[in-house]
Each structure stands twice: as structure tokens, then as C-alpha cells.
Structure 1
Amino acid sequence: MGRVLRNVFVGACVVLWLVPLWLMVVNAFTASTEYSGSPDWTFQGFAIFDNLSTAWDEARIGEGFGSSLLYAVVCAAAAVLVAAMASFAVVVLPIPRPAFWFWLIFSGTMFPLQMFLAPLFGMYADANLYDTRMGLMLVYVAWAIPFAFFLIRNQMTTMPPELTEAAMLDGASFRRIFWRIHVPLLAPGLGAAFIFQFTAVWNELLFGITLSRSPEVQPVMATLTALNNAYASTGPPVILAGTLIVSLPTLIVFLVFRGLFLRGLTVSAR
């Protein structure tokens, strides 16, 4: 009975996830001139390429696409590297009060992003970082570090301390121990953390629309809002087509690296 209820629950969750996805895909194929104003449940045409072209031109998604790819790859990689170093310091290095440092870094995940907007905006305006790629990259790296630190630190605590002790007896420095022992063994956790942060930075909107305004600087989610501003001239099918475009990178990353992602989650959850 328990298995049946579990399967029913899982099936219901799958349906709840697939229904809006189905509606998005179906209505993205509808021509804007033929859209009735209410969602269609079946395909009413094949205007997907026209809608994609309009979304690409109206919102200048191409520029935002390149910017988001830069932000997601570089910022996620930098955040994972810093988080790995911080995890090594908290777990392996003989620093005082490691629990305090853990909670201090991890507390970055506990506060809503909205509370940072006003001080960040003022600080960025004073430092000439507003509407610059460097400004967005700095905030994305800082935002991505705490959760990556949580995942990597959890995996690092499962590594036997005898590895570090044996390396130290052989005369290895902490730097060598980190790069030659811990980083290779942490590969699944590092990969999972990177995928998480890549997805988070790619899908981020709040900082993108608050700390930038130029199409060549704004991330793709912020440029996509231009379609909403031009709602009357483009129509929902074009907006949905643009949504399909910007959803592809995270889907591709997950499908290509799903094995590494699952191994990393399994190890980090121990």
C-alpha cells in the first residue's frame, strides 16, 4: 500500500511539472496573429521559428545569451574554487573555531536577496561598477559561494583524516595536499556544485535588472523581460519561444553531466 501511495504521489508531481511545460511548448508554436488569448492545449500551427526569430530580435537575446554564458561559467567556476578552499580551511586546516567559520559562510544562504539590493546599488554607483560585467560577476561569485561551500564541505568531511596525516608525514605542504589529494577526490562534489551554481547564475533575474541596464551587460533573463514590456506587439507565443531558448543551456548541462551531478549529490549527502 505504501509503495502504491508513493507511486501515485510521484506520478502526480510529474504531471504537475509536465502540464505547464506542455502548455509552454504548444503555445510557443502558435503564431502571434492567431493566438486567441487563452492557452491552447493542442498544436494550432508551426510558427515556432518565426516566434524564435522575433524573440531573438525584439529582446536582443543573443547579447544576453553571451553575457549569461560568461557569467554562469566564470562565476560558477570561481565560486566553486573559493568554496573548495574555504571547505579545506574549515575541515582540514587547524584554524580556531571551525564551526563559527562554517556558520558564518553558510549564513549567506539564509538571507533574502532583496535586502542586499539597496546597499549594493548605492555602493556600485559610487564605485563605478553599476552596469558593468565586472560588477555583476563580483556579486554572482559572492552569491554562489555559500551554497557551493555547503555541498563541498559536506563531501570533504567524509574524507578520512589519515590521508592528510600521511601526506604531512611525507613532507607535503597544505597547498600540495589540497591540489594533489583533495581536489581530485572531490571531483564529483565539485562538479555537482558547479552545475548547481551554473543553473542559479543563468536563471538569476533580480541582480540582473537592478545592477545593469545595457543589453550588452544584462544577463539573458533580464533581456527576456523586454518581451514582457513589448507584450502588446509580440504576444505570449513569442515570450514562450524566448523562454524555450533561454532554457536550453541548463537542460543541456544537466543532461550531459547528469552522471557527475548524481554522484556528487550522493557523496555530499552522506
Structure 2
Amino acid sequence: MARRVRDVLLIGTALLWLIPTYLVVVNASTAADDYAGPSWWPGSWGFFDNLSTAFETADIGQAMSNSLLYSTGAALIAVGVAALASFAVVIMPVKRPAVWFWAIYTGTLLPLQVFLSPLFNGYADTSLYDTQYGMVLIYAAIAVPFAFFVIRNYMTTAPREMMEAAQLDGASWIAMFVRIHLPLARGALLAAFLFQFLATWNDLLFGITLSTSPNVRPLMAALAELNGQYAGLGPPVILAAGLVASAPTVALFLGFQRFFVNALKLTP
């Protein structure tokens, strides 16, 4: 009996969460010319026409390419830096490792809004504003603390005997990092990469603050412009673009959900 109640609750919760997705799909598939308001049932089919309008009007294709560049580049840089920092704090004999941990991890405790004004002024003064490398730089910087948190927690579980054996064999710190700890931590590295990829892909705050040009603007900023400046195109066009924008992150999560679960198990 208890199992049936649990199953019913789980199914009901899943259906409840799927209702908004269902409404988005139905209304995004309605032809913009026939749209008369939110609908619970599919009417005329116009999804691909809506999507074509969004791509032509707001240059969604270029924005998706920009977000792919930012998400991949920033996540790779952040994971690389975080892996080095984690190895130094956990494995190498540094003084006051707890101080170094909190000095890096504190970056996740501050709201991102506090960085906007100094970042905008600094980017404007250094010609980083509205540039692709400037966007990659800021996304990588804000991604390092959480990636460090995930990778560092995993490296604390590495057997000390393995490190001692490598040192007895004459292995250098670089050799230990590259040949031993990186292969062992590949699950945590991939999980950190996925987390930061999704966070960068879905970012709107820095996208609308530090970029304006279509060839630099990330995807969420382009969707915000589509919803603002081009709102007259109709909700079906905006919803169709939103569905396509969310499809890569949903596919990524479903394909690598095991690594997300494992990463959460490593966090205290």
C-alpha cells in the first residue's frame, strides 16, 4: 500500500511539472497568424514557421553559436584552473589549506549583481566590453569557485597511500597530477564541466550587461531582445525560439544525468 501511494505521488508530481512544458509546446506549435491567446489544445501547425521567423529576426543562430563558444570555452578553462587549485590545496603540502579553500570558494557566496558595476566599468576601460574573449573571460572566472568545490571534494577521497607510493617511485608533482589524479577524477571533472556549461548557457545577467552586438550577444540575451523589441511577432515565435534554446541543455542533462548525481553525492 505504501509503495502504491509513493508511486501515485511521484507520477502526480511528474505530471504537475510537465504541464508548463506541455503548454509551451502547444502554443509554440500554433501558427502566429492564428494565435488568439493561450491554448490547452493544439490548433494550426506553425512551429517551423515560427522558428524561422525567430532565427531571421533576432539572429538566434548566431546567438546559439556564441553561447556554445562561451559555454564550452569557459567551462574548459574553469575546470582546468579548478583542477590545478584542487590538487594544490588537497594533495600538495601548502600552508593553511582551509584558508585557500575559503578564499576560492567565497566566489560562490556573493551575489553576481555586486560585480556588474565594476565589471562594466572595467570592461569599458580595457576594451573588453562587447567582445567574445571578454565574455569567455568573465564566464570562466565566475565558474571556477563551484568547479573547485566539486573537484576538491572528490580529491579529498583519493587514497593517501597512492600518493606516497608515487613519491617513492620519484614521481614529480606534475606527473602525479597528470598521470594519477586527473584520470581518477575524470567523473568529477566531467560533472563540473556539465554544471558550468549549463550555467553559462542559461546566463542572462552578464549577457545583457557586457554585450550588445549580435555577433557577441549570447543566446539568452537574444531571446530577451526577441521578447522585448520584437514582442509584436507574437508569443508563438518567442516560445518556439525558447524551446530550441532549451533543447541542448535538456539533452545534455538527460544524457549525463549519472554524472550530475555523482557530483551531488560528493558535496557535503
TM-score (norm: length of structure 1):
0.94
Q: Which residue of 2 aligns with 1:93?
A: 92
Q: 1:232 to 1:128 in 2, by over 3 A?
A: closer
C-alpha separation in 1, matches of 2:36 and 2:187: 48
Closer/same/farther in 2, CA of residues 8 and 103 from structure 1, 3 Å limit: farther
CA distance in 1, matches of 2:131, 2:64: 16
**Aligned mates of 1:93, 1:234 — CA distance in 2:** 58
Deviation at 1:227, TM superposition (A): 1.3
How far did 1:101 drift?
1.0
Distance 2:68 2:26 in 1: 27
> Is 1:182 aligned to 2:181, yes or no?
yes
Structure 2 counterparts to residues 96-135 of structure 1, below 5 A: 96-135=95-134
Deviation at 1:12, TM superposition (A): 4.1
CA distance, structure 2, for counterparts of residue 131 and residue 175 of structure 1: 37
What displacement does 1:34 show? 1.4
Deviating runs (4+, > 6 A) in structure 1? none
**Is the Cα contact below 8 Å between 1:152 and 1:190 reproduced in 2?**
yes
Q: Which residue of 1 aligns with 2:68?
A: 69
* In structure 1, distance between residues paired with 2:148 and 2:96: 17
* Counterpart for residue 214 of structure 2: 215
Shift, 1:105, TM fit = 1.0
Which residue identity lines up with residue 100 of structure 1 in the other structure?
V
Q: In the TM superposition, what whole-angstrom CA distance separates every residue of 1:56-99 from its partner, at most 9, and x where no partner exists?
A: 11110011111110111111111111111111111101111111
Question: Structure 1, residues 218-262: CA drift from partner, whole Å, max 9, x if none?
Answer: 111111112112344211110000001111211222233334444
- Alignment-derived partner of residue 30 in structure 2: 30
Where 2:200 maps in the other structure, the secondary structure is helix
Cα shift at 1:35: 1.3
Secondary structure of the structure 1 residue equivalent to 2:213: coil
Partner of 1:60: 59
- Deviations 1:155-214, CA, capped at 9 Å, x for gaps: 111111111111011000111100100000001111111111110000001000000000
Q: Cα 1:137–1:35, aligned 2, differ >3 Å: closer, same or farther?
A: same
Kindly provide the CA deviation profile for residues 19-65 of structure 1, in whole angstroms up to 9, marking residues without a partner as x.
1111111100011121112x211111210000010111111001111
Partner of 2:197: 198
Unaligned runs of 5+ in 1: none
Runs of 5+ consecutive residues of structure 2 not aligned to the other structure: none
- The CA RMSD measured in Å over matched residues stands at 1.7
How many matched pairs? Answer: 268
Moved more, 22-31 or 12-21: 12-21
Give the aligned partner of residue 141 of structure 1: 140
Q: Distance in 1 between matches of 2:6 and 2:91?
A: 41
Aligned ranges 1:220-239 → 2 under 5 Å: 220-239=219-238
Task: Report the Cα distance in structure 2 between the residues aligned to 1:173 and 1:232, rounded to whole angstroms.
Answer: 60
